[in-house]
Chains A and B, each alone.
Chain A
Amino acid sequence: MRYWRANAVFMAVLLTVWAVVGLGCGVLFADSLNGMTVGGFPLGFWFAQQGSIISFVLLIFVYALGMNWLDRRYRDDAESDGE
Chain B
Amino acid sequence: MDLKSWTLLFVGFTFTLYLFIAWRSRVRDTSGFYVAGRGVPAAANGMATAADWMSAASFLSMAGLISIMGYSGCVYLMGWTGGYVLLALLLAPYLRKSGNYTVPDFVGDRYDSNVARMVAVVCAIFVSFTYVAGQMRGVGIVFSRFLEVDINVGVLIGMAIVFVYATLGGMKGITWTQVAQYWVIITAFLIPAVAISIKLTGHAMPQIGMGSELLGGTATLLDKLDQIQSDLGFGSYTEPFIGAMWDKTNVFCTALALMAGTAGLPHVIVRFYTVKNVRAARWSAFWALLFISILYLTAPATAAFARYYMIDSLDGKSAQELPGWFEGWEKTNLIIWLDDGDGRVQYRGANPKDGRENEIFRRGKLEGAEVAAIREGHNEWLASGGPENSPAAQGADGRAVLRDLKLSGPDRDIIVLASPEMAELSTWIIALVAAGGLAAALSTASGLLLVISSSVAHDVYYKVVNPQATERQRLRVGRIVIGFAVVIAGLFGIFPPGFVSQVVAFAFGLAAASFFPALVLGIFSRRVGTVPAVAGMICGIGFTASYIIGSVYGGMDAWCFGIGAQGIGVVGMVINFAVTISLMPFCPAPPARVQALLDDIRSPEAEDA
Contacts and interface: CB of A to CB of B under 8 A. Distances in A.
Interface of A: 1, 3-4, 7, 11, 14-15, 18, 22-23, 26-28, 30-31, 34, 39-42, 44-46, 48-50, 52-54, 56-57, 59-61, 63-64, 67-68, 70-72, 74-75, 78
Counting chain B CB atoms within 10 Å of each CB, which of A34, A71, A75 scores highest? A71
Nearest to A21: B82
Given A48-B71, A49-B74, A57-B293, A68 B282 contact: yes
B81 A34 contact: no
A56 B238 contact: no
Contact of B71 (A45, A61, A78): A45
Contacts of A74: 604
Counting chain B CB atoms within 10 Å of each CB, which of A1, A22, A64 scores highest? A64
B604 A71 contact: yes
A65 B212 CA distance: 35
Interface string B56-97: 000000000010000101100110011011101110010000
Contact of A45 (B81, B240, B251): B240
A57 B606 contact: no
> Closest 10 interchain pairs by CB?
A40-B211, A48-B74, A64-B282, A45-B238, A49-B300, A71-B604, A40-B220, A30-B240, A60-B286, A41-B211
For the complex, would chain A's binding face be called helix, strand, loop or mixed by DSSP majority?
helix
Contacts of B210: 40-41
B290 interface: yes
Contacts, number: 143
Given A18-B85, A48-B71, A49-B73, A61 B286 contact: yes
B252 A23 contact: yes
Nearest to B607: A75
Chain B interface size, as a band, is: 35 or more
A50 B207 contact: yes
B77 A57 contact: no
Contacts of A70: 604
Contacts of A30: 71, 240-241
Given A52-B77, A60-B84, A34 B211 contact: no
A60 B78 contact: no
Contact of A67 (B71, B213, B241, B282): B282
Contacts of B73: 49
A36 B84 CA distance: 29
Given A63-B282, A64-B283, A53 B221 contact: no
Contacts of A1: 602
B293 A53 contact: yes
Contacts of B283: 64
A56 B84 CA distance: 8
B242 to A, nearest CB: 11
Nearest to A74: B604
B89 A40 contact: no
17 contacts: A18-B85, A23-B255, A34-B238, A41-B210, A42-B222, A49-B300, A52-B81, A53-B296, A54-B297, A56-B289, A60-B285, A63-B282, A64-B286, A67-B282, A71-B279, A72-B604, A75-B605
A42 B226 CA distance: 11
Given A44-B71, A56-B81, 9 more contacts: A27-B74, A41-B238, A48-B77, A49-B71, A49-B300, A56-B289, A60-B88, A64-B88, A68-B279
A42 B552 CA distance: 34
B468 interface: no
Contacts of A40: 210-213, 220-223
B251 A27 contact: yes
A53 B251 contact: no
A75 B82 contact: no
B293 A15 contact: no
